[in-house]
Structure 1
Amino acid sequence: MNDIEWEHFMADNDMEWVVKPVSWDEGAFIGNGSIGAMVYGEENAKKRHVLRFVTGRTDVTANRTDKPGFPPRVPIGELDLEMEGMIYHPTSMRVDLWNAELRANLTTTRGEVKLRSIVHSEEPVMAIEIETSEGERGTQFAWYAYPEVDHVLKNADGFNLNQYIPATDVEKTIRDGVNLSIQQYSDEDGCVTSWKEVQVSPNRRICFMSVIKGHDEAAIGKAVDAVLQASSIDFDVWVGVHRQWWHNYYRQSFISVPDGRLQSFYWIQMYKLASATRADQPLIDNQGPWLTSTPWPGVWFNMNVQMSYSPVYTANRLDIGMSLVRALDENRENLITNVPESCRHDSSGLGRSCSYDLRAKVDDEVGNLNWICHNVWRQYRYSMDDEMLKTILFPLLRRSVNYYLHILEEGDDGCLHLPPTISPEYGSFMKTKVRDAHYDLALLRWGCLTLLEICQRLTMEDPLTGKWKEVLERLTPLPVDETGFMIGQDTPLAYGHRHFSHLLAIFPLHLIGCDKEEDRKLIATSLRHWIGKEGDLRGFSLTGAASIASILGSGDEALRYLQSLMLIIKPNTMYKEAGPVIETPLAGAEAMHDMLLQSWGGKIRVFPAVPGEWQEASFENLRTEGAFLISAVRRDGETQMIRVKSLAGEPCIIKTGWSGVIRWTVSGTRVAEYTVYVKAGEDEIVLDLSKGDEAILSRGAEMPDWRIFPVESPRKVSRYFGGHKPWRLYGF
Structure 2
Amino acid sequence: MDVSRIWAKDYYKLPGAYFPHSAYPVDMTMNPYPVPHWGWEVCETPWAVQGLWWHYLYSADTTFLRNRAYTPIKEAVQFLAAYMKRPEAHGGERWKDNKYHIFPTIPPELYALRPGFKYNYDCNIDLTLTKFIFKAFNEMVGILNTQKTDASLLKDVKDILAHFPDYPTAPSEKYGKVLVSVPGEHDKVVYNVPIALATVFPGEDHGLHSNNATMELLKNTYHNQQNEGGNDLVFINLQAARLGLLDIERFKRHVNYSLLPNGTATDMVMQVHGRYSDNTKYDYMGAMGIWFENFALPVVINECLMQSYNGAIRLFPNWNKTDAQFFNLRAAGAFLVSATLQKSMVNNVTITSEKGGRLRIFSPWGKKGNIKRTNSSEKIKDDLIEIDTRAGETIVLQP
Settle same-fold status: TM greater than 0.5: yes
Given residue 395 of structure 2, which amino acid in structure 1 is its aligned partner? A
Matched, 1:653 2:360: yes
User: Residue in 2 aligned with 1:672?
Assistant: 376
Shift, 1:510, TM fit = 1.1
Deviation track 1:422-478 (CA, whole Å, cap 9, x = no partner) reads 111224699985221112111221121111111122222112111000010112111
User: Residue in 2 aligned with 1:663?
Assistant: 370
Q: Secondary structure at the match of 2:17?
A: coil
Larger Rg: 1
User: Residue in 2 aligned with 1:604?
Assistant: 313
Given residue 110 of structure 2, which amino acid in structure 1 is its aligned partner? Y
* Distance in 1 of aligned mates of 2:249 and 2:49: 29
CA separation of 1:429 and 1:334: change in aligned 2, threshold 3 A: closer
Matched, 1:526 2:221: yes
Q: Secondary structure at the match of 2:357?
A: coil
Identity %: 20
Contact 1:434–1:491 (CA<8 Å) still a contact in 2? no
Shift, 1:672, TM fit = 1.2
Q: Unaligned 5+ residue runs, structure 2? A: 173-177, 267-284
Matched, 1:482 2:183: no
Given residue 104 of structure 2, which amino acid in structure 1 is its aligned partner? P
Given residue 234 of structure 2, which amino acid in structure 1 is its aligned partner? T
Given residue 553 of structure 1, which amino acid in structure 2 is its aligned partner? G
Deviation track 1:577-600 (CA, whole Å, cap 9, x = no partner) reads 151233343232111111011112
Task: Report the structure, 1 or 2, having the larger strand content.
Answer: 1
Matched, 1:590 2:276: no
TM-score (norm 2): 0.82
User: Residue in 2 aligned with 1:537?
Assistant: 229
* Distance in 2 of aligned mates of 1:654 and 1:453: 21
User: Residue in 1 aligned with 2:250?
Assistant: 560
Match of 2:10 among 341, 346, 349: 341
Q: Secondary structure at the match of 1:336?
A: helix
Task: Report the structure, 1 or 2, having the larger helix content.
Answer: 2
CA separation of 1:390 and 1:677: change in aligned 2, threshold 3 A: closer
Contact 1:569–1:585 (CA<8 Å) still a contact in 2? no
User: Residue in 2 aligned with 1:548?
Assistant: 239
Matched, 1:436 2:122: yes
User: Residue in 2 aligned with 1:415?
Assistant: 99
Q: Secondary structure at the match of 1:488?
A: coil
Shift, 1:675, TM fit = 1.6
* Distance in 2 of aligned mates of 1:377 and 1:344: 27
User: Residue in 1 aligned with 2:158?
Assistant: 469
Contact 2:9–2:15 (CA<8 Å) still a contact in 1? no
Shift, 1:565, TM fit = 2.3
User: Residue in 1 aligned with 2:77?
Assistant: 401
Shift, 1:380, TM fit = 0.7
* Distance in 2 of aligned mates of 1:398 and 1:447: 9
Shift, 1:508, TM fit = 2.0
User: Residue in 1 aligned with 2:22?
Assistant: 353
User: Residue in 1 aligned with 2:56?
Assistant: 380
* Distance in 1 of aligned mates of 2:311 and 2:299: 19
CA separation of 1:344 and 1:574: change in aligned 2, threshold 3 A: farther
Aligned length: 354
Shift, 1:389, TM fit = 1.3
Shift, 1:351, TM fit = 2.1
* Distance in 2 of aligned mates of 1:626 and 1:563: 34
Match of 2:109 among 417, 425, 429: 425
CA separation of 1:492 and 1:457: change in aligned 2, threshold 3 A: farther
CA separation of 1:562 and 1:433: change in aligned 2, threshold 3 A: farther
User: Residue in 2 aligned with 1:449?
Assistant: 135
CA separation of 1:660 and 1:467: change in aligned 2, threshold 3 A: closer
Q: Unaligned 5+ residue runs, structure 1? A: 1-331, 700-732
* Distance in 2 of aligned mates of 1:344 and 1:386: 32
* Distance in 2 of aligned mates of 1:566 and 1:414: 49
Contact 1:661–1:676 (CA<8 Å) still a contact in 2? yes
TM-score (norm 1): 0.46
Shift, 1:511, TM fit = 0.8
Match of 2:194 among 492, 500, 511: 500
CA separation of 1:657 and 1:551: change in aligned 2, threshold 3 A: farther
Shift, 1:372, TM fit = 2.2
Contact 1:446–1:511 (CA<8 Å) still a contact in 2? yes
Contact 1:559–1:611 (CA<8 Å) still a contact in 2? no
Contact 2:41–2:108 (CA<8 Å) still a contact in 1? yes
* Distance in 2 of aligned mates of 1:565 and 1:342: 42
Shift, 1:344, TM fit = 6.9
